């Protein structure tokens, strides 16, 4: 009886520290269960539909063994992370841990030649521009080597559409557009993040507040209307910016370096379907007319989705 009482006190006094690089503790939570055989199940709960990479660290682990740092990809809303087994089956396990997590599957295998459609309805004339790295221009930071972000502009306010099938994992709808602004750049833009089946993420930025037509957790398809584009200067065009990215590192310390933080995400150079080239790399400052085909729209459809689309 004495041994059992001491074991309970040990667990009650353990320090369980949840560390999230974005300081969003509620997104992923870990908990543990002590089983009758003195093993420990470490479980997770996640409130976000997207995939996260989680780094688990043990600062103390008595009567069991596990690697000091383990990285897990967690996609479901809940599940078992690990099971700790006691080395000495007559004694309980003492432990203390912390964890960090970040959106995305670490180093996903993606097809660099995948063809996207442009983010407007078929027939829409758009002007494409490559966007520079704001950190270099205004803050003296070094741009990521593979930086690739496009802006798609229209003369009038227009609907923004999805470039690929995926799941909406985040929407930020916070800012009213201030068209009287004199600034060339603002970080206060509404945005939407879509996770694709291959682990890449599409980030769409610069939506009109209140214009989103999709919800977090919704599966979207090429051509699905997402919202309406916006502008933040009276004399500018309406636009949406887009980049395709993926998680390439979880070196959180480098990311927090105040002098020159390193990007944990890599950038994909996307190919787009155009009238002149079925897998074009877009040319900056060139005008295109949005094109697509039923084949490119449906290429990631499931059998059920294909059957429904033909009806």
- Taking only the tens place, the pLDDT of each residue in 238-266 is 999 999 999 999 988 777 776 666 789 99
How far apart CA 41 and CA 31 sit, in angstroms, is 8
> Has residue 139 got a pLDDT over 60?
no
- Six token digits for residue 121: 């309805």
Q: Using one digit for the tens of pLDDT, what is the confidence trace for 263-288?
A: 899 999 999 999 999 999 999 999 99
Answer for the pair 103, 27: CB distance below 8 angstroms, yes or no.
no
Instruction: State the pLDDT confidence band at 153, using cuts at 50, 70 and 90.
Output: very high
Sketch out the chain's domains with CATH numbers: 2-103 (2.60.40.3230), 115-310 (2.70.70.10)
Average the pLDDT over 159-172 and give the result: 98
pLDDT value of position 179? 63
Residue 224 has φ and ψ, to the nearest 5°, of -60, 130
> Has residue 25 got a pLDDT over 60?
no
Nearest to 73 by CA among 107, 29, 97: 107
Which pTM was predicted? Answer: 0.86
How far apart CA 67 and CA 28 sit, in angstroms, is 21
Q: Using one digit for the tens of pLDDT, what is the confidence trace for 179-192?
A: 665 555 667 899 99
Among 48-57, 65-74, 142-151, top mean pLDDT goes to 48-57
Average the pLDDT over 48-71 and give the result: 91
């Amino acid at each position: 009886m004495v041994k059992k009482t001491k074991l309970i006190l040990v667990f009650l006094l353990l320090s369980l520290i949840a560390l999230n690089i974005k300081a969003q503790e509620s997104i992923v939570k870990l908990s543990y269960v002590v089983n009758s055989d003195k093993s420990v199940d470490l479980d997770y709960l996640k409130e976000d539909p997207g995939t996260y990479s989680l780094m688990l660290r043990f600062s103390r682990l008595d009567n069991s063994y596990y690697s000091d740092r383990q990285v897990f990809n967690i996609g479901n809303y809940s599940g078992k992370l690990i099971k700790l087994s006691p080395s000495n089956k007559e004694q309980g396990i003492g432990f203390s841990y912390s964890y960090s997590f970040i959106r995305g599957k670490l180093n996903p295998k993606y097809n660099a030649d995948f063809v996207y459609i442009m983010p407007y309805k078929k027939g829409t004339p758009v002007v494409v521009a490559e966007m520079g790295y704001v950190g270099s221009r205004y803050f003296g930071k070094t741009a990521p080597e593979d930086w690739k972000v496009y802006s798609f502009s229209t003369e009038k306010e227009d609907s923004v559409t999805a470039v690929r099938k995926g799941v909406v994992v985040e929407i930020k709808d916070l800012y009213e557009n201030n068209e009287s602004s004199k600034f060339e750049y603002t970080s206060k833009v509404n945005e939407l993040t879509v996770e694709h089946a291959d682990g890449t993420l599409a980030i769409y930025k610069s939506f009109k507040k209140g214009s989103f037509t999709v919800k977090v957790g919704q599966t979207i398809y090429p051509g699905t209307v997402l919202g309406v584009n916006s502008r933040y200067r009276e004399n500018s065009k309406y636009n949406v910016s887009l980049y395709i990215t993926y998680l390439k590192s979880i070196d959180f310390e480098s990311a927090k370096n105040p002098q020159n933080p390193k990007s944990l995400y890599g950038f994909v150079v996307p190919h787009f379907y155009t009238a002149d080239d079925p897998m074009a790399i877009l040319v900056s400052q060139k005008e295109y007319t949005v094109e697509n085909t039923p084949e490119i729209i449906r290429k990631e459809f499931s059998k059920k989705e294909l059957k429904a689309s033909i009806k």
